[in-house]
Chains A and B, each alone.
Chain A
Amino acid sequence: MRILLAEDDSMLGDGLRAGLRQLGFQVDWVRDGVAAERELASGDYAAAVLDLGLPLKDGMDVLQAVRASKITTPVLVLTARDAVPDRIRGLDQGADDYVVKPVDLHELGARLRSLVRRAHGQMQDVLRCGAVLLEPSARRVSLNGECVTLSTREFDLLHVLMLNADRVMSREQLEQQLYSWGYEVESNAIEVHIHHLRRKLQPDLIQTVRGIGYTVQRTSAPT
């Protein structure tokens, strides 16, 4: 899952990026409000972690601008402003969650997963497509109750497809969701991962829509 991290403090930003990466997130880190707004508007992020005291443009203004331009990316506000009026204002301005520093990395990860899940209309943490079960928090996938070992990229790809079940995802969309900045994405990387997933799970789990992209069906065809 690709996350945008907007944090001006270099030490905290570095820690959050490293920590969220350990938890399996792809993290893009911006250090000011203008960059945060630009990235939220252009990039395809599963969620964003937004500090409020950002240089150039305050986090609250970024949030307002982003919501005004109908960008629905879930935003978790991470701030030192702990006063109740601040929290209320943050949530009312369009934040999906409000967390006061310091925060436990695991809690932050769980909150982000929950935001992403809800953004996709999922009520439960586990995603199911026929016989395939995906648990984002444990980063575990099982087929008919049997655990299947997947690489990080394979898991993330399957996660994105299952979150967007019944929708066709283009290769570009998938790349956007999977790779943070600084990764050279090989042109056939997605195809290779899809191939591996089909081999490790079910050949017909992921369907190719020629010329458009890939999709999984919530009620997958019985095996």
Chain B
Amino acid sequence: MLKDITIGQFFPGTSAVHRLDPRVKIVLTVAMIITLFLAAGPISYVIIIGFLAAIIGISGISPKLIVRGLKPVLFIIIFTAVLNLFYTPGDYIWQWGFLHISKEGIKIAFFMVLRLMLLIIATSMLTYTTSPIQLTDGLERLLGPLKKVHAPVHELSMMMSIALRFIPTLIEETEKIISAQKARGADFESGNIVQRAKAMVPILVPLFVSAFRRADELATAMECRLYRGDVGRTRMKQLKIERVDVCAMVISAVVLGSVITLGRFGL
């Protein structure tokens, strides 16, 4: 069923990682990405791998899922590895025509692959353990200061959350329209690409018409419920920094800080 698609691949849970304040998680993920680019030697990578493994362990998310998350970017990883392997000049240990492999190439390729994989694992841990609504909420509050320079932060996050609210509704509607058109003899499965693309028109047109009608009704309903944009609004759920959050921040600061320091010595 189309309806069961998970958006942003969120796996609900109650672990400490899940309970962290979304703002803390977003900031720490960004810090992690920066650290990955500053890490230089094997010791740094061992520390980072250990740190990520601990996070995955605490979150209770199966390592299989983490590996599966790497699949879509496998091509990019291999491509980077091959380029680095064959095109890094230095102390050649193997040569054939214009292809050559150097000691430096092996080293750079290896760390590049490792860095990319860790990068993807770190960011997917954020989306695996944070619901989309929490993510939007966290982003809105993190970017809150930008409101002072009239950036439409609230409006953007409102749009995001309405989109999230309506994705399942619209998917359900698409399924209904597909069935209705099939019942009238529409054929979506045969023919070449152009014919199949044309067959989508009778699905898209009613879907768009209904989406606009829904948007109009929703806007009226929101006005009736006193929505005036970001004027004098309060929130029911206040994000609060709890003890878990403080712990997470301190541990991360120590780990990431030491990696960056080690990086300066090339370790």
Partners in one complex: no
Measuring CB to CB, which residues of chain B are less than 8 angstroms from any residue of chain A? none
